[in-house]
Structure 1
Amino acid sequence: INKVSFRRKVDELAMLDPVPGALQTGGAHRPAQLYRVRPAYRRSLSLSARGL
């Protein structure tokens, strides 16, 4: 999977919201921004066979 294409597709779907101030630290590079699934999509993802 191409990282740029994946990121663009996730942004286009607008399924995720960034968690303000929540960063995953401990890596050698810039901390990663954490995201949560928007409430409108939670139910549909939990009902799918594969989930997210």
Structure 2
Amino acid sequence: MKINQLSTFNILDYLKTEEDIAGYLQAVNEDGDPVLIKYASLDIELARANL
């Protein structure tokens, strides 16, 4: 399979409930990478705007 044949991944497609968001936030916090936490916070803000 070639790169251009892969489907696009968007985390917002998977953050549909507060439980989804909580699990995502927990996983990101366990990683501890401050940059990842920053971007996850933006993802969560967008996800909550679409709930």
Q: TM-score, normalised by structure 1?
A: 0.30
Give the number of the structure whose residues are more often helix, by fraction.
2
Question: TM-score when scaled to structure 2?
Answer: 0.30
Bigger strand share: 1
